[in-house]
C-alpha cells in the first residue's frame, strides 16, 4: 500500500536558525501557499519573492514572513523563510492545518491563548514599539484589565472597555504597516522622495522619463509608524510610442497600470507634482477620510521658490535640497492619518493593556452598546481568550 507524502516537509533541522526551508507538495497546501503569497507559484527552475500574508479575517495584522519560493521538479516548491521556530510553525499550520512535516498529516492544535498569540507575534512586530506592546500583553496585562472590567460596576465597566477599544484602534497600526504609494507625472521627484523616506538609495533616480517601470516597495518607518512605501511609474502619454511599435513603451504602460492598481489598494497616496510660483501642494485632499486618503504635494520647490523651506507653503517640499524637511512633512501627514488619538497622550507606556487583534477590538465594541456593557457577553468573550 502506498503512503502519500506529507503536504509539508521540513528540509532544515528543527530549532532556531537563520533560515528554514520547507518543501510543499502539490495539492491543497500549495493552493493555500499561492493564496497567502498573492501570486502563482513558480515553475521548476524559477524563483518568486514575496510576503506571506495572514488569511483574510485573521486578527494578527502583520504579514507572517518574507519568503523566497523556489520551483523544483515533480511539482514541488521550496519555501525559504526566517528560521524562528514560531514563524516556521505558523507557516506550516497556515499551509496545512498543522502538518508537522514529519509525515504525521494534519495535527490537531488547540486554539492558542491570548498571551500565546501575543508572544508568537513579537518577532514579526515591524517596530520595537509594537514589540513592547505585544510583550506586555503576553504577560497577561490585557487579560487582567478585562477581568477587572468584569468585576467593575456597570458605569466603570463601560469606561474600561471603551478605553480599550479606543487604544486598540489607535495602536493597531504599530503592528500592521500602512501602505503609502507615491504617484505623479514623470520626473516629479517621486523616486527622490521615496529614497529619502526609505533612508537609503533604493530607487534609481535619473532625468530620463520612464526610468521607473514597476512598483518598487520597501518597509520603512515614519515617526513611530511602520509603513510600506511604494514608488510607481510616472504618468505620461504613451499612445504615440505604442502605436509606433515601441516595445519599451508597452512595458512602461504596464508599469503605469500597476501604479494605478497600487494606488487603489493603498492606505495613503502621495500625489506629487512639481511646485511653481502658482502651484504648491494643498496638503490633505478634501476626501482624506476616504480610502485611500490622498495628499497632494508640490515637489522640487527649491528650483522655483528658493532654498528657504519657510517660503514654500504647506504641502510643498524639495526632497533633494531639504531631505529632513521632506521627511518631517510626510511623517506629519502619515501621523495625522494613522493616529486618531490625542496628541498629548503617549503612544505606549509600560504595562498598559492593549487589544492588539482587530477581531478582539471589534468584539469589545460589540459588548459596549448604547452606553452599556453586557457582563455576560464580556464573560463569554474573556473565557474564549
Torsion of CA 125, 129, 134, 139, to 10 degrees: 140
For the four alpha carbons of 217, 61, 260 and 321, in that order, the dihedral sign comes to negative
pLDDT in tens, 268-279: 888 888 876 544
Q: Measured between alpha carbons, how far is 125 from 219 in angstroms, rounded to an integer?
A: 12
Q: When comparing pLDDT for 234 and 381, which is higher? A: 381
| Per-residue model confidence (pLDDT) at position 340 | 66
8-96 against 178-338: fold identical: no
Give the angle subtended at the CA of 279 by the CAs of 273 and 284, to the nearest 5°.
65
**Fold topology of 8-96:** Gyrase A; domain 2 (3.30.1360)
Name the burial class of residue 114, with classes exposed (0-12), middle (13-18) and buried (19+) by CB atoms within 10 angstroms of its CB: buried
Q: Is the pLDDT of residue 26 over 80?
A: yes
Q: Measured between alpha carbons, how far is 212 from 258 in angstroms, rounded to an integer?
A: 11
Note whether 89 and 95 are within 8 A (CB): no
| Per-residue model confidence (pLDDT) at position 158 | 93
| Per-residue model confidence (pLDDT) at position 149 | 94
> Beta strands of 214-347 (E only): which ranges?
216-222, 225-231, 268-274, 283-284, 293-299
pLDDT in tens, 80-136: 988 777 788 888 888 876 444 433 333 333 457 889 888 888 877 888 899 999 999
Q: Which of 5-19, 21-35, 196-210, 264-278 has the lowest mean pLDDT?
A: 196-210
Q: What share of the chain is helix, strand, coil (3-state, %, to 5)?
A: 40, 20, 40
For the four alpha carbons of 37, 40, 41 and 46, in that order, the dihedral sign comes to negative
Q: When comparing pLDDT for 19 and 296, which is higher? A: 296
Torsion of CA 210, 228, 56, 17, to 10 degrees: 110
**CA end-to-end distance (rounded Å), the chain:** 43
Q: When comparing pLDDT for 111 and 359, which is higher? A: 359
| Per-residue model confidence (pLDDT) at position 104 | 36
Q: In the structure grid, which three cell numbers stand for residue 323, read together?
A: 531631505
Q: In the structure grid, which three cell numbers stand for residue 306, read together?
A: 528658493
Instruction: Spell out the domain ranges in the chain.
Output: 8-96, 114-163+356-384, 178-338
pTM over 0.75: no
| Per-residue model confidence (pLDDT) at position 99 | 41
Torsion of CA 130, 132, 138, 139, to 10 degrees: -160
| Per-residue model confidence (pLDDT) at position 207 | 44
pLDDT in tens, 125-155: 888 899 999 999 999 999 999 999 999 999 9
| Per-residue model confidence (pLDDT) at position 164 | 95
Q: In the block, which residue shows the cell 502658482?
A: 278
Return the SS3 of 123.
helix
Residue 157: pLDDT band by 50, 70, 90 thresholds? very high
List residues bridging with 50 in a β-sheet: 67
| Per-residue model confidence (pLDDT) at position 154 | 92
Q: When comparing pLDDT for 140 and 374, which is higher? A: 140
DSSP designation for 44: T
pLDDT in tens, 297-342: 888 888 888 889 888 888 898 888 999 999 999 999 888 888 866 6
Q: Measured between alpha carbons, how far is 318 from 12 in angstroms, rounded to an integer?
A: 49
**Mean pLDDT across the chain, nearest whole number?**
78
Angle between helices 154-171 and 358-367 (to 10 degrees): 150
CATH of domain 178-338: 3.40.50.300
Q: When comparing pLDDT for 44 and 210, which is higher? A: 44
CA distances from 130 to 127, 158, 173, 327, 350 (A): 5, 26, 9, 22, 12
Give the angle subtended at the CA of 303 by the CAs of 268 and 266, to the nearest 5°.
10
292 preceded by cis ω (within 30°)? yes
pLDDT in tens, 207-239: 434 444 445 678 888 988 998 888 887 655 545
Quickly count: other Cβ atoms within 10 Å of residue 248's Cβ.
Answer: 12
Q: Which of 62-76, 99-113, 307-321, 358-372 has the lowest mean pLDDT?
A: 99-113
pLDDT above 70 coverage of the chain, percent? 74
| Per-residue model confidence (pLDDT) at position 344 | 65
For the four alpha carbons of 116, 122, 125 and 131, in that order, the dihedral sign comes to positive
Residue 359: pLDDT band by 50, 70, 90 thresholds? confident
| Per-residue model confidence (pLDDT) at position 329 | 93
Average pLDDT on 236-243 reads 56
Amino acid at each position: 500500500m502506498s503512503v502519500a507524502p506529507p503536504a509539508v516537509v521540513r528540509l532544515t533541522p528543527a530549532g532556531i536558525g537563520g533560515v528554514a526551508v520547507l518543501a510543499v507538495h502539490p495539492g491543497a497546501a500549495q493552493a493555500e501557499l499561492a493564496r497567502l503569497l498573492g501570486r502563482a507559484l513558480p515553475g521548476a527552475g524559477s524563483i518568486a519573492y514575496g510576503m506571506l500574508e495572514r488569511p483574510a479575517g485573521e486578527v494578527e495584522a502583520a504579514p507572517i514572513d518574507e519568503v523566497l519560493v523556489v520551483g523544483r521538479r515533480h511539482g514541488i516548491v521550496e519555501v525559504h523563510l526566517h528560521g524562528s521556530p514560531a514563524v516556521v510553525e505558523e507557516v506550516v499550520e497556515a499551509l496545512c492545518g498543522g502538518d508537522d512535516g514529519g509525515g504525521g498529516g494534519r495535527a490537531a492544535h488547540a486554539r492558542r491563548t491570548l498571551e500565546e498569540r501575543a508572544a508568537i507575534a513579537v518577532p514579526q512586530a515591524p517596530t520595537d514599539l509594537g514589540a513592547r506592546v505585544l510583550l506586555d500583553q503576553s504577560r497577561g496585562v490585557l487579560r487582567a484589565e478585562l477581568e477587572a472590567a468584569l468585576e467593575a460596576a456597570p458605569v466603570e465597566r463601560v469606561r474600561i472597555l471603551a478605553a480599550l477599544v479606543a487604544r486598540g484602534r489607535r495602536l493597531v497600526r504599530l503592528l500592521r504597516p500602512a501602505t503609502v504609494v507615491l504617484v505623479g507625472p514623470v520626473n516629479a521627484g517621486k523616486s527622490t522622495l521615496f529614497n529619502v523616506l526609505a533612508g537609503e538609495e533604493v530607487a534609481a533616480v535619473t532625468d530620463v522619463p520612464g526610468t521607473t517601470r514597476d512598483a518598487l516597495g520597501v518597509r520603512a518607518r515614519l515617526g513611530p509608524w511602520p509603513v510600506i512605501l511604494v514608488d510607481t511609474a510616472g504618468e505620461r502619454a504613451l499612445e504615440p510610442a505604442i502605436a509606433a511599435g515601441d516595445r519599451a513603451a508597452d512595458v512602461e504602460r504596464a508599469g503605469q497600470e500597476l501604479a494605478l492598481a497600487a494606488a487603489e489598494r493603498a492606505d495613503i497616496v502621495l500625489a506629487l507634482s512639481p511646485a511653481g510660483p502658482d502651484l504648491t501642494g494643498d496638503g490633505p485632499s478634501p476626501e482624506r477620510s476616504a480610502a485611500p486618503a490622498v495628499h497632494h504635494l508640490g515637489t522640487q520647490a527649491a528650483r522655483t521658490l528658493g532654498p528657504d523651506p519657510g517660503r514654500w507653503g504647506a504641502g510643498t517640499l524639495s526632497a533633494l535640497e531639504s531631505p529632513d524637511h521632506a521627511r518631517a512633512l510626510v511623517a506629519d501627514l502619515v501621523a495625522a492619518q494613522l493616529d486618531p488619538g490625542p496628541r498629548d497622550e503617549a503612544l505606549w507606556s509600560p504595562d498598559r493593556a492593549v487589544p492588539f487583534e482587530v477581531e478582539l477590538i471589534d468584539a469589545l465594541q460589540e459588548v459596549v452598546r448604547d452606553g452599556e456593557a453586557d457582563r455576560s457577553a464580556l464573560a463569554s468573550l474573556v473565557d474564549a481568550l
